[in-house]
Structures are given as C-alpha cells and as structure tokens.
Structure 1
Amino acid sequence: MTDQAPDYAALRAIGWPWPGAPEDAAWQALCAAHPQAVPARVSEQHRSGYVVARGPEDALRPESLPEWQRPRFPAHARPAVGDWVLVEEGKRIVALLPRHTAIKRAAAGEHYHQQVIAANVDTVFIVCGLDADFNPRRIERYLMLVGGGGGQPEAPQPVVVLTKADRTEYADDALEVLADLAAQDIPLRTVNAKDPASVAQLHGWLGPGRTVVLVGSSGAGKSTLTNTLLGVQKMKTNTVRENDSRGRHTTTYRALIPLPSGACLIDTPGMRELKPTGEEDLAEGGFADIQALTAQCRFRDCAHQGEPGCAVQAAIQAGELDPARLANYMKLQDEVAAAAAKLARRVAENAGKGPGRRPAGRPGRR
C-alpha cells in the first residue's frame, strides 16, 4: 500500500466509517490539505508515542506532531486509541481527524484536565463481575461518563455486561437490581466470558466496521472476554483475590484489536477513578427516570429532602425508586456541577491562547 493510494478495504477492517472518501466536511478539508497523507487509526498509545494501523496487519510507529509533546498541550487534544490521523510517508503524523464520539474522564489531581479513554467508538461494554466486583453505583458512574459523549454531538451506546455468570446462582437477582436501567432501554447481558456460546449474545454489537470499547475494574473479566471474542489467548489474564475479587492490571495500556467478525475492540486497563468532566448529562447517563421525576416536583428548586409536593420522595415512598440510586444521583449531580465550574474557568483562562503556549505577559504573571 502506498501513501497516495489508501487501501479502504483494509481501513474498513479497522473501523473506517465509509467504504470510500469520508463524507464529513472537516475530514474532507484536512485530507485535501494533506494530499500526500493517508488515514491511519491509533491502535496503541504509549508515553513514548503511538502505534497506528492502516489495516489489520499494517502497523506503524510514526513521529507525532511536535506540539503534542509540549507539557502544556491539552491531553484531550492529543490522539487517543481509536482516533483517526493522517500519516505522510509512513513516518510522521500530520493531522488528527475530528472525533465523532469520545469517552472521557477528568484526570486525577488538583488541576482540571481531561483524559480520553477511547475515541470514535460505537458501543461501550461496561464490564462488571458477578462476584464482589458487582457494584450498581459504579455501573451508574460509568453510564454517566458514557452518556456525556465526551463533549461530542454523538454518544456511544452503553451495554452492561455482567461476567462470571458461571460462578454464581444470583445472576437473575443482579438483573433485578439493575431493572431501572433496563427500563431505560440500556441492554443488560449476563455471560460466562470463557464460553463462546455465552459470549455470542454480544455479537449483535460487533458487526463489520463497528468499534466497541471495554471498560470496567481490574479483574472484571475484560481480557478474558477479549480472548474469547478473538478465539485465541492473546491478552494476558490473572486470577483475582478471593477476599475482594480484585485483580491486578493485566492490561497495562489501551489497545485496538481487530476481531474476526470485522469489528474492532478496544481493551482498557481497570480504572479506579471515574471523575466527571463537567460535560455529562445525567439524563443520558442512566438517570432519565429520576430526571423525569424531578420535573414533576411542585417547586422548581426542590432539593428532594422532604419538601411538599416532591415527586421524587413520593416515588421512594411508593417503592418505585431505590433511595440508594437517588443518593448516587445527587452525589453525581454535585460532582458534574463542580467539574462544569472548573471547565468553565479553564475555558475562560485559556481564551485567546494557543494550545501549549504560556500565558501572555511576563513569566509567572497572568
């Protein structure tokens, strides 16, 4: 394959969204601006650089743009696994194509930063084990991040995948606990991640050209699920501790893996912190039912703590709403609001500044 003649059949096998030239105007403009470049997809992201693919068996390690290496360059503006870039001569990345979807979280630390977990994905498998790993509140937190769409106009579809169904007799009980999510048309599936017949119920989201990202805690079974979908033992797996069902980080970096079905799978390390970016919409993140109830309260500023005419408390009294879900909703609502305030301040501070540049004026002054 030459740089002047992209192999769209090979690109399609790693998720290229169209069989020919892209229909997105922004993509067309960048491709026209770099006529000697060809599209490639970021398949691995490391501290030292990127691995990009022009097809299932065509990986490169090109140089990245110099500004991406600057410490002050926004992390979320750098390529992430799943992104599409333009590469010249197979040696250097010259442009990052705009994302259609992104899963992001706020990075750990005092200062506000965003981290892209995966880009240009169609579906997010939220993987949770049916052992001590099972945590409805953490599932809701993942749904919040997925529902945010990463600030993009589109949001991927979430699917809750409950693994280790072969190790418990309480799979149906777990589904009942998550019934409020199912009522919002969020698919729930219980699987034995080691059994291809059981995992086959996920194939509907793994058609040709589709991209799915796996998220979940360490030990939830993401790597096992990946191996079963691949049909080979490619990803390293470890046993989990019996006392708390926690596993070690068997996946240490994000990687995009083509599947035999023609889909692509992005495996990710377990994440301990799931902080919102401030762009999330809780109604799109698994709390549409509570949002609908809040709109029925008598007072617009109802705090849902016993005010007269509170539709939320009425639903709890009627047994229609789990108090724990409401408490988590209120907690996440506060976190999103705080993150949104930080984001607004960051945008105001950076107004008029180019990415990676120091503020105007003398060093140390704003």
Structure 2
Amino acid sequence: MVDFDPLVPFGWTEAVAAQYLPLLDADCVPARIVRMDRGECDVMTPTGPARATCPRADSPVSGLCTGDWVSLDARSHVRAQLPRRTAITRSVASGRSEGQVLAANVDTVLICAPADGDVDLGRIERMLALVWESGAQPVVVLTKADTAEDLPLDEVRAVAPGASVLAVSATAGSGLDVLVAMLDGTVALLGPSGAGKSTLANALLAAEVFATDTVRATDKKGRHTTVHRELRPLPTGGTLIDTPGLRGVGLWDAAEGISRTFSDIEKLAADCRFADCAHDAEPGCAVRAAVESGEVPERRVRSYRKLGKENAWMEARSDKRLQAERNQVWRGIAKEQRRMYRERGSRR
C-alpha cells in the first residue's frame, strides 16, 4: 500500500487525491515537480525526493513547470502531466504567439512591489490581470516598507479591486503575521528583480533558502539572484514557489483577468451610450464623465485601454498562428493525396 504522507507538506490533500488517483496507471505514483531543469526535474514522491526524467519536448507531455503534479513510473520517468487547477501564464519574452507557464497549481500569488521608490501602478495592474486570469487569488505586497518614505496603500488599493493590499518589511519583520494569515495552499511570489521576493521568501520559510542581493542605488534595479522556480514547504503549512524577477510581463489570453482588474471601469462602461464605446471622445461616455469628475484617474483608463489592445493583438496573432498550423496540416494531407493518385495512375 502506498503511503502518501511524504507528499502532504508539498500540497497533497484529500481533494487532490480524489482528483488524481483515478488517473494513474497501475505502475505509477503521483509526484510534484519541485524544480525544473532541461530534460530532468526534481520531484517529491510518496517515498521522498527523487530526480525524474522528463519526456522529449516533442512528446504529448511537454511544457512541464514547477508546481505541476505528474504521473511517475518505477524508473522515475514522467509518464503524464496531471490536470492543472491553475496556471500562471504569460506570453513568451520574444513576442511570439506562445504562452509560457510560470507556475502551476497555485492558490495564492503575492505580487511584490518595492515601496522604497516610486510604486509602478501600471505594472501592478498588469500583474493583477495575469494572476486573475490564472485562477489564483492575488495579494499585492508592498515590500521594504521600513525604508519607504511614503506608503501609497490607498493608491494601490484603488487599482486592485478584489485583492488584499498590505505593506511588509521582511528584514524588520513588520506585517509578516498579517501576510501569513492570508496564505492559502500553494503560494507563488511574482515581481521584478529587486522587489525583495527572495528576502520575503526566506522570512516566510524561516530559513535562508534563497540567495539575496542588494539593488543598484542609481536606478533601484535588482540583480537576478533567483534563476530557477523552486517549490518549498512552508513551516506554517502549504508550499511556496519563488520565481526569478520578471522584466517583462506580456499578457496571454487574459480577457477575464483584465475584466476583473478593471471591474470599476467596466461597471461604469455599462452606462455608456454606445455598446462599443472606446472611452476616448464618444458622447455619453460614462467612463470619460468619471475621469472628468475625478472619480477615476486618467492614467487608469489609459492602462485599461492599453492592456485590452495588447491582449486583443496577442489573441489575433495566436489565431493566425493556429490557422497557419491548420493550413500546413491540410497542405500535407493534400500533398499525400496527390502522391497517392499519381501512384495509382502509374500502376494502370
């Protein structure tokens, strides 16, 4: 009989067992990916940690990432990826019409923004759209609160409807008790380099697990000290995934995430005179009226329109790529049919 207790600190619950055990082959056990490398990954299994071999990139099982649950055979080969509950997905950095999964099966995402400089509200909105779309619950964390001259909590709360916002200092220990009370299940940290993610992760883990470094004093930009996404059990229960700093966060199929991030604007838009109002200069625009009255900042409307256009552009690129792939398949079929007809004709 398989003992699943070693998997419990890594997120194994009765609900997970009920979902995944019926999907396993008789000779396989469930395992969770702790860290990915090229062609191999570190996993936690019912018998403890192991090194597993991943399928080839061109196999049906591809795109594995930290946080995935997989089916593992007796030779420590990953046989299948088990269904994801959530997935944090961005467009690839190259701008190609492809999505990159940053972390899987995440319940809570801590969007880290350093408070020791100007807080970038537009970046926070972008990250919120990414997280809402994933199915996880976002929490905006203003880090390095002990060095901030002013904490713009009200401004951040205004751009994060439905999400909790708080300020913490991992080095001073302030705000951590409130943050820990908000953590649920698997927690992922997202944010730019220099946001203090690894320092915060170490504080939550109560151990110096991840390397940290200082930021440049000139522009407050950090150095990449975390180079892998790695999953660790939290001493308070649940698991934590630290991620490398994100320079760019391209949206990928994030219409629902944008809608939730800008729910205040979409609620106003329902009262616009025209259903296809662009909230620019149309008569009877409820959003423009809210801007003019000071209810909604102009910056937020620009951000809403920008992210919406970017997402629509990416969706169009993705549709074209899929159509091109379909066309290529049909060209191959037609070519094969022509070859068969020629061969039949030559035999007559």
Q: After the TM superposition, which residues 1-366 of structure 1 pair with which residues of structure 2 at under 5 Å, given as runs?
A: 5-18=1-14, 22-24=17-19, 27-31=20-24, 34-54=25-45, 58-66=48-56, 69-70=57-58, 77-89=62-74, 91-132=76-117, 134-149=119-134, 155-171=135-151, 174-182=152-160, 184-207=161-184, 210-351=185-326
- Residue 226 and residue 330 in structure 1: after superposition, are their counterparts in 2 closer, same or farther (change >3 A)? same
The answer as to whether partners of 2:258 and 2:308 remain within 8 angstroms in 1 is no
Paired residue type of 2:28: A
Shift of 1:279: 3.8
Name the CA shift for 1:359/1:226 in 2 (closer, same or farther; >3 Å): farther
Q: CA deviation at 1:276?
A: 1.1
Q: Following the alignment from structure 2 to structure 1, what is the Cα–Cα distance between the partners of residues 191 and 127?
A: 8
Shift in Å at residue 22 of structure 1? Answer: 2.7
TM-score under structure 1 length normalisation: 0.85
Give percent identity, aligned residues only: 39
Structure 1 vs Structure 2 CA RMSD: 2.5
Counterpart CA distance in 1 for 2:54 and 2:257 is 36
Structure 1 equivalent of residue 340 of structure 2: none
Deviates more, 1:130-139 or 1:256-265: 130-139
In structure 1, distance between residues paired with 2:332 and 2:37: 28
Partner AA of 2:287 in structure 1: V
The structural deviation recorded for 1:29 is 4.6
Would you say the 8 A contact 2:116–2:149 is kept in 1?
A: no
- Partners of 1:296 and 1:266 in 2: how far apart? 42
TM-score scaled to structure 2, two decimals?
Answer: 0.89
Per-residue CA distance 1:190-241 (angstroms, 9 max, x = gap): 000223453121112335xx10000000010000001111111111100001
CA contact (8 A) 1:162 1:190 kept: yes
Match for 1:85: what amino acid?
V
Distance in 2 separating the partners of 1:299 and 1:264: 47
Alignment CA distance shift 1:258-1:349 (3 Å): same
Runs of 4+ in 1 over 6 A off after TM superposition: none
SS in 2 for 1:297: coil
1:232–1:115 CA distance, 2 compared to 1 (3 A): same
Q: Distance in 1 between matches of 2:181 and 2:82?
A: 28
Amino acid at match of 2:23: L
Tell me, what secondary structure is at the counterpart of 2:124?
Answer: helix
CA distance in 2, matches of 1:170, 1:104: 32
The gaps in structure 2 that reach 5 residues or longer are 337-348
Q: Deviations over 1:242-298 (max 9, x none)?
A: 111111000001100111112100000001111111243245441111111111100
- CA offsets 1:283-335 (integer angstroms, 9 cap, x no match): 54411111111111001121211211100010011111010011011000000
Distance 1:205 1:352, change over 3 A: farther
Partner-residue secondary structure (3-state), 1:274? coil
Deviation at 1:47, TM superposition (A): 2.3
Q: How many residues align?
A: 335
The SS at the match of 1:299 is coil
Pair 300,187 (structure 1): closer, same or farther in 2 beyond 3 Å? same
Name structure 1 gaps, 5 residues minimum.
150-154
- What displacement does 1:348 show? 3.4
Structure with higher helix content: 2
Preserved CA contact (<8 Å) 1:14 1:262? no
1:336 Cα deviation after fit: 0.6
Q: Which amino acid letter does the alignment assign opposite residue 106 of structure 1?
A: S
Distance in 2 of aligned mates of 1:52 and 1:88: 12
Write the distance in 1 (CA, Å) between the matches of 2:188 and 2:334: 43
1:152 is matched with: none
Paired letter, 1:18: E
Q: Structure 2: which amino acid aligns with 1:15?
A: G
Greater radius of gyration (CA):
2
Question: Does the aligned pair in 2 maintain the 1:53–1:60 contact within 8 Å?
Answer: yes
More displaced 10-residue stretch of structure 1: 222-231 or 279-288: 279-288
